[in-house]
A and B are shown apart, each in its own frame.
Chain A
Amino acid sequence: MSIKRLINFFTAFYANPLGRIFILTVYYLAIIAGLVFMYGKGDFSTPDFVYQGF
């Protein structure tokens, strides 16, 4: 499939109300996935600290 046909396909798909919602959903999911990738790992490690044992 050439690039032009691909663009035409998505343009037609986007023109369809349900197709538009589907593409936008994928778009929002990609944003959420990006946020999870960037900030989602969390940090449960214990930072290095000097244990001032007695």
Chain B
Amino acid sequence: MKQAPHLAASVAAVFVSIMAGVAFTIYANLFEEKYVHSVAALEHIEIIKGSAIQRVALQQDDLLVVYGGSEIVLLQTRYQAYRFFSTYPTGFNVFDVANKGASALTMAQKVAALGEDVRGKKVVISITPAIVTMAPLGEVNPDHYNANFSQLHALELAFSPHLSMETKRLAAKRMLDFPAILEDNLLLKFTLENLAGDSTTNRILYYLAWPLGRLQIAFVTLQDHYATTAFIRSHSSEELRVTRQPEEIDWSALAAKAEVEQIENTDSNSYGVDNLKWKQLEELFVTPIAAGSKDAEFIEDVKNAREWGDLEITLRVLHELGADAVIFSNPMNVQLWEKLGVSEEAQNAYYEKINSMVSPYNIPVVDYREYGTDKYFDMDLAAHTSRKGWVYVNQTLDKFFHGVLR
């Protein structure tokens, strides 16, 4: 030791750093546990690319973690689940992990990043028909995928000891379809390429990358804790206050009330489209389209949408990690799609496909198809949740949380 003071000193410095990291992690976990209910009631998009607060949320008896996309966040209303349940009227609140443009591939990575922490825990995966029925090739927009990409989640999936090689291989192949976001993540890119490859060399290189990958995950996890505690500290004690007010909810009366509000917000058109989205959609309805004339094209698009492959990856992840999951899907907006030449019968192709995809995994699907003809469940063509729709969704969330969803 005396002959090699630099070696001894560097080892000591690394040891002290590791201990400091461990101490900070313990502190951050306690801090996150203290404020996780506050975070649930706040918009917290700043930290959904991490996993720290999600892990803590999963451990709470009175939080239900919901993964989703724009259907969760687009319409800012008091009926949104995280606002509606913020006073714990029926004993719980939701913890949203949602952002505009998030697709099944993003959600697969988010859930995979939780590893064993999600086993046996109730989680909701919310999807909409939008990507499948409206996006080119039924595939997530690369800009949306890249914006929602999390280095931590991708690394956790790639180096997960809890997922099968086949699931990781399927995910890796899809993730490589979005190369731009991997440009700055050389280790991740290298790992995904070797995961996606079939040769023995690929397998050896993948395992050689494993220690580096776990090391990087450890660093990024510390950064995640730092970002989460900084996010919490950026709010005042008033903003972080949680109040609990148990109350009986008359769901029918609430739906009627929300419908009135929704109608008030659709006065720019006769289709029931929310004023927020009408400008974007109105030109689609200028020229009448013959009923059923687009059926064949629609059914073909639904059948071949790439989003299904990504949903398959999500389902595999949920299954292999043993999550107690449910899949929510907003309904097709029957009336609007009929105006665009797609009959109600053809629209059913979506429900048939999603149910046939999920069924082998014994995961329940709530597809709300009975509300497809309700003009005010969806706020637009892409099935974003309206005020009234939120009441139905909230009622289902309540049933799922309390174990009475049938």
Do A and B bind? yes
**Interface residue range, chain A:** 20 to 34
User: Which residue of A28, A40, A49 is within 8 Å of B13 (Cβ)?
Assistant: A28
Contact with A along B32-70 (1 / 0, CB 8 A): 000000000000011111100000000000000000001
* A29 at the B interface (CB under 8 A): yes
A53: contacting residue among B46, B146, B147, B382, CB under 8 A = B382
Interface check B141, CB cutoff 8 A: yes
Contact at B134–A54, with CB atoms within 8 Å? yes
What is the CA–CA distance of A32 and B280 in the complex, to the nearest angstrom?
52
- CB-CB contacts below 8 Å: B218-260 with A: 220, 222-224, 226-227
Return A52 CB to nearest CB of chain B, in Å.
Answer: 6
**A44 touching B100, Cβ below 8 Å:** no
Q: Which residues of B contact A50 (CB under 8 A)?
A: 143
- Known A-B contacts A29-B13, A44-B49, A52-B141; the reply to A24 vs B5 at CB < 8 A is yes
Known: A25-B12, A29-B17. A44 touches B5 (CB 8 A): no
Contacting residues, chain B, for A22 (C-beta < 8 A):
9
On whether the beta carbons of A21 and B226 are closer than 8 Å, the reply is no
Within 8 A of B (CB), among A12-54: 17, 20-25, 27-29, 31-32, 40-42, 44-47, 49-54
Across the A-B interface, give the 5 residue pairs with the lowest CB-CB distance, nearest first. Answer: A42-B223, A24-B9, A28-B13, A54-B382, A49-B147
Residues of B within 8 A of A (CB): 1-2, 5-6, 8-10, 12-14, 16-17, 45-50, 70, 74, 99-101, 130, 134-135, 141, 143-144, 146-148, 150, 152, 220, 222-224, 226-227, 277, 280, 380-382, 384
A-B contact pairs, 9 of them (CB 8 A): A17-B2, A25-B16, A32-B17, A44-B49, A49-B143, A49-B147, A52-B143, A53-B100, A54-B381
